[in-house]
Structure 1
Amino acid sequence: MSVRVKVCGIRDAVHANLAAFYGARWLGFVFFDRSPRHLTLGEARALRPHLPRSTERVGVFVNEDHDMIEAAVDALDLDWVQLHGDETPEDVIALKDDFGVSVIKAFGVRDAADIKAAKAFAPYVDAFLFDAKPPEGATLPGGNAVSFPWELMQGQTLGRPWLLAGGLTAENLPEAVKASGAIAVDVSSGVESAPGQKSSDKIEAFLRAAKAVR
Structure 2
Amino acid sequence: MIRPLLKYCGNKSREDYELAIHSEADYLGLIFADSKRKTEPETAAEWVEEFGRNGKKLTGVFVHPSHEEIQRACDILSLDAVQFHGEETTDFLKEFRQKNGSAEIWKAIPHDEKAVEKMERYAPFTDVFLIDSKVPGSRGGTGIAFDWSAVRVYSEKAEKLGKACFIAGGVNPENIADLLQTDPHGIDLASGIERNGMKNAERIRNLEKRVFEYVSR
Q: Same fold (TM over 0.5)?
A: yes
Aligned-pair CA distance for 1:177: 2.1
Q: Secondary structure at the match of 2:157?
A: coil
Aligned to 1:97: 98
Aligned to 2:45: 45
Aligned to 1:149: 147
Aligned to 1:192: 194
Structure with the larger RCO, 1 or 2 (CA within 8 Å, 6+ apart):
1
Aligned to 1:206: 207
**Which ranges of structure 2 fall in alignment gaps of 5 or more residues?**
none
Q: For 1:206 and 1:164, how far apart are their aligned partners in 2?
A: 15
| Alignment: residue pair count | 207
Aligned to 1:168: 171
Aligned to 1:117: 118
**Which ranges of structure 1 fall in alignment gaps of 5 or more residues?**
none
TM-score (norm 1): 0.89
Aligned to 1:36: 36
Q: Secondary structure at the match of 1:52?
A: coil
Aligned to 1:66: 67
Question: What CA RMSD, in Å, does the superposition of the two structures yield over aligned residues?
Answer: 1.7
Aligned-pair CA distance for 1:10: 1.0
Task: Summarize deviations over 1:163-192 as a string: whole Å, max 9, x none.
Answer: 0100000110110121x3313100001011
Task: Summarize deviations over 1:41-69 as a string: whole Å, max 9, x none.
Answer: 33123223123231000000000111111
The runs of 4+ residues in structure 1 deviating greater than 3 Å are 12-15
Contact 1:3 1:211 in 2 (8 A): no
Aligned to 1:133: 134
Task: Summarize deviations over 1:114-163 as a string: whole Å, max 9, x none.
Answer: 233222111210010000001x3x3x301011111111121432211100
